[in-house]
């Protein structure tokens, strides 16, 4: 009899433990995405340096005073889509998120089903970016 294998995709959650646990349980069950959670940015960056996550979900408050600069550093190191969870952000921060290439951000309260859809889109985007077979041909 043949066995069935499920390949869990790897993600990183940068959030307080309670929030990370809630999101991790939901995404593991619904999307087969295993999130490794970290409460501090530097710990997440150290982990990302040795692994290749498929996705990063980060609580924007975890960046503290570094704010957008810390987020830019994370995006530069991870090489995968980033989804942010935020409380209140300014228009300037929204512009910065867009220019940095943040895949999606959620302000205030949100539904886990909305996060699930953003995760689906991010994982599809990652596959498109990483596959040279799907890049458009450019003719001169």
Query: If residue 35 lies in a helix (H) or strand (E), which one and from where to where?
Result: strand 33-38
pLDDT confidence band for 33 (50 / 70 / 90): confident
Distance CA 100, CA 116 (A): 22
Q: What is the CA radius of gyration of the chain?
A: 16
Half-sphere CA count of 56, side-chain side, radius 13 A:
29
| pLDDT score, position 39 | 93
The tens digit of pLDDT for each residue in 99-133 reads 999 999 999 888 888 999 999 999 887 654 444 44
| pLDDT score, position 7 | 55
Rounded to two decimals, the pTM is 0.81
CB 111, CB 119: distance < 8 Å: no
Q: What angle do CA 17, 37, 128 make, to 5 degrees?
A: 140
| Class at the top of the CATH hierarchy for domain 9-113 | alpha beta
């Amino acid at each position: 009899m043949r066995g069935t294998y499920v390949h869990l995709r790897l993600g990183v959650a940068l959030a307080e433990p309670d929030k990370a646990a809630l999101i991790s349980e939901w995404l593991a069950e619904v999307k087969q995405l295993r999130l490794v959670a970290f409460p501090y940015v530097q710990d997440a960056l150290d982990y990302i340096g040795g692994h290749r996550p498929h996705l990063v979900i980060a609580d924007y408050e975890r960046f503290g005073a570094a704010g957008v600069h810390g987020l830019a550093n994370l995006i530069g190191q991870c090489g995968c889509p980033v989804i942010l969870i935020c409380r209140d952000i300014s228009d300037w921060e929204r512009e910065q998120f867009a220019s940095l290439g943040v895949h999606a951000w959620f302000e205030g309260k949100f539904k886990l089903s909305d996060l699930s859809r953003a995760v689906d889109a991010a994982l599809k985007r990652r596959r498109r970016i990483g596959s040279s077979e799907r890049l458009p041909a450019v003719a001169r």
